[in-house]
Structure 1
């Protein structure tokens, strides 16, 4: 049927055309609903797509490395606690010993021991006292001791040999002002060696505290031997008095 026939038929039967309007409207509404749904889904997918893309493009969160950044982007230290500092029992920090006793901090003397004589020798006590105004630390070793001529200030003969070396406990002693350390001093009589001794009058002892390159002098008059092979002096380890 051609268009002209349809128009003639419609003109002839207007009721028939009206009967078909509701059906046509229903079909058209269905098409619009389906089209609208499809368009909404597309818009939803389109609007969701950028978010998904942005999410996929966002770098993953990396584990904390102990540092953070401030508002300027500069790295700041992490919040981890600093290493602990050793402290003493009072919690005020590691305790430190007083400085070593220098020769200038000490005064020396030789004490006579009652009944300290032996055949051909005499036992005395060497005393070193802290005469400074501050505590100091004395090593518990052997002092260096020798006879000295007051005129030339030169050493006479051999220096003192160590006696009872196994008795040196090591370590150190803290000397408050006025406190002392002592060591046994043995002196053999120069007369025992005759002319081999090469006698020479000594007027003082030269004493080097342990681990010190400086010395102190103690007045001490005695006959000494210039012969370096004759050992008249022996000294013990220092002990706290």
Structure 2
């Protein structure tokens, strides 16, 4: 392949621009906010699960308290009815005696149930406190996550604006490079880790950093000025300039 020396030198300008775009893309991918957001998201998700579990436990405990209070009320009501009959003296002596014994049992039952109510109330208080604490932590984690996402988005906007300007510069350079030379450069760039063209600078390929022997330099020097030379070591387009040392 042949291409005017000026077009080959333009490849170095294009390579510099493409390397800049690669750096910007890497910078975008490597923002410290990404790791911060990952951590904050994991914390937020874990806290959401804890809040849901705590709220479920609180609901269960509230229902348990309602049931325990209803049990106490039922015993109180039955004891009150029995007491009314005892006070009225209605019934046979045996019936009244049985009512008296039942009320004594109900008094013991009521005392036990009231102890249950107190125990459930203590657990309910703890459950409510846990929901409050976890909800506050969840709210804080939401703020942390939102702030991290805001910093990431601001960094994205800055990087993307710079990348857009660099892409416009690239278009201006790429459109004056012959299509076949540009196609070769693009293919080699994809194959060679982002570098498709490298300068021959003082006997060395700046793509792979290999220094050429004198015989190899003489062979390169013998090539026509418009010949597209490739580095025998890395295969990249080797662009000759006044600083090539040949």
Provide TM-score, normalisation by structure 2. Answer: 0.25
Task: Kindly indicate which of the two structures has a greater share of residues assigned to strand.
Answer: 1
Task: Kindly indicate which of the two structures has a greater share of residues assigned to helix.
Answer: 2
Larger-gyration structure (1/2): 1
Provide TM-score, normalisation by structure 1. Answer: 0.26
